[in-house]
Structure 1
Amino acid sequence: MPGSDGPAVIRSTLRQQIADALRDEVLGGRLEPGQEFTVKEIAEQYGVSATPVREALVNLTAQGLLDADQHRGYRVHEHTLADYRSMLEARGLIADGIFREVAEHGPPREDMRDALVSVRRRGEEASRAACAGDLNVLIGYDLRFWRELSALFGNAHLSEFLHRMRVKSWACAVTHLRRWSESDGGDLRGALWSRHTELVDALVRHDPCGAHAIVAEYNAHSLSLIERLATA
């Protein structure tokens, strides 16, 4: 019966909304690594029942953003530099798969070119935010940029895996970036990677080697920056 799916759909939507909100809290630095909380606390914060909260927290734990503690509830996962290096390596391998698709199937189709124009706009916003040192805006546009770009090439499973890797790597990096930007003299302007549009242009030109070089430079830049801030 059509009506029988209503409550399940509503609960699923609420669970996802809570998961998205908590993910944004982590990326925004409002939930810091090691910070603990319970299902009850989150349910009271959002004014909802415990069931969708518990489901959202289980989902975020499966994604590696939270750790579950049987007796204390949940805590924000504390990523190490070794974790960050591994995430960048995984991101690079998936990106190489995307570029392999470009190399094997020739220049983008006309409909794909139109879609790349939309992705390029996301890249322009991400680049502006990076140059301005606006971390909140950058993270949002950067995640959308890569999700839409990866969806055009390869398969949906790889696209979803890449998105999760990028969320986790931002969760790791943002701790160091925010601490530095909030310290005396810390300024992110000009320190963040901003070559999103160049990557799109390389794919439009059917230049997988150029695209690979841009992403390799991105990963090297990101790793160098986070390692420097972590040891500062």
Structure 2
Amino acid sequence: MGHLKQKNLITTRERLRDQVAHALRAALISGELRPGEIYSAPGLAEDFGISATPVREAMLDLAREGLVEPVRNKGFRVTEVNERDLDQFTEIRGLIEIPMIGRITRTAAREDLEVLRPIAEEIVRAARDHDLIGYLEADRRFHLSLLALSGNDRLVETVGDLRKRSRLYGLTTLDERDQLTPSAEEHIELLDLMLAGDAAGAERCMARHLGHVRSLWAQDGTA
């Protein structure tokens, strides 16, 4: 009986940790938590109305994602991403993803690509509904699931890490300018090209998409 109670407590604690991490990611995206600023777990816990432990654990999760960094005896600093960082992240992603998209177009089974259509449509829907967390989550699933068709787990892991480190801060501003929907619709265009077997066209679309995303970062001005 005692073990069952302990198991329930662990489950509840992990769920709270995930909920806090989700809320903190939303605060990062909206710009409520600002790059370069230091936030303490007790201070954030007070805002949430909970104990500091799940907040500290959630911040450690964000630190592993490269979104914050621990500051000894103070708390966590929101990671600053400068223009040079963003240029380098985009360049590396281009070197990996553009040729890989062409390769996947030539080798992937049609049914494996079709599975991704609901996710592509979810990205567009989230953009239109101004659901920023949903937008980023669907976008992540689409790109990483697409790259997973290469069969190279390390490649997927590398791109996933790059995506975490180049997360869009202040995404709310872009949403208010209605600049997310055109980028979202490029996912459907890319998928259609791949299903048509147009490897060269898919590579061009992917290159344009990455350039589009980078230009959004520049316009946002929060990097």
Shorter-chain TM range is 0.7 to 0.9
Q: How does 1:159-170 map to 2 (within 5 A)?
A: 159-170=156-167
Say which of 37, 40, 44 aligns to 1:38.
40
Q: Distance in 1 between matches of 2:208 and 2:12?
A: 43
- The alpha-carbon deviation at position 162 of structure 1 amounts to 2.4
* 2:218 corresponds to 1:227: yes
Assess if the C-alpha contact under 8 Å between 1:84 and 1:169 holds in 2: yes
Q: Which runs of 5+ in 1 are unaligned?
A: none
CA distance in 1, matches of 2:145, 2:30: 22
What one-letter code is carried by the residue in structure 1 that aligns with 2:124?
S
Unmatched 5+ residue regions in structure 2?
none
Of 160, 176, 193, which residue of structure 2 is paired with 1:202?
193
Map of 1:154 onto structure 2:
151
Deviation, structure 1 residue 123: 1.4
Quote the Cα distance in structure 2 between the aligned partners of 1:157 and 1:8.
31
TM-score for both structures, normalised by structure 1? 0.73
Cα 1:50–1:178 change in 2 (3 A) is closer
Identity %: 33
Please give the alpha-carbon distance, in whole angstroms, between the structure 2 residues aligned to 1:160 and 1:14.
26
The ranges of structure 1 where at least 4 consecutive aligned residues each deviate by more than 6 angstroms after the TM superposition are none
Partner of 1:216: 207
CA contact (8 A) 1:127 1:195 kept: no
Higher mean alpha-carbon deviation, 74-83 vs 121-130, is at: 121-130
CA distance in 2, matches of 1:35, 1:152: 39
Q: Which moved more, 1:54-63 or 1:152-161?
A: 152-161
Shift of 1:101: 4.7
CA shift digits 1:146-186 (9 cap, x unpaired):
23323333334433442343243233xx42x544666xxx5
Relative distance call for 1:133 and 1:92 in structure 2 (3 A) is farther
Query: If the length of structure 2 is used for normalisation, what is the TM-score?
Result: 0.76
| Aligned pairs for 1:1-232 within 5 A | 3=3, 6=7, 11-96=13-98, 98-99=100-101, 101-102=103-104, 106-109=106-109, 113-127=110-124, 130=127, 132=128, 134=130, 136=132, 138-171=135-168, 174-175=169-170, 178-179=172-173, 186-188=177-179, 192=183, 194-230=185-221
Q: Classify 1:8/1:193 alpha carbon distance in 2 versus 1 (closer, same or farther; 3 Å).
A: closer
CA RMSD of aligned residues (A): 3.5
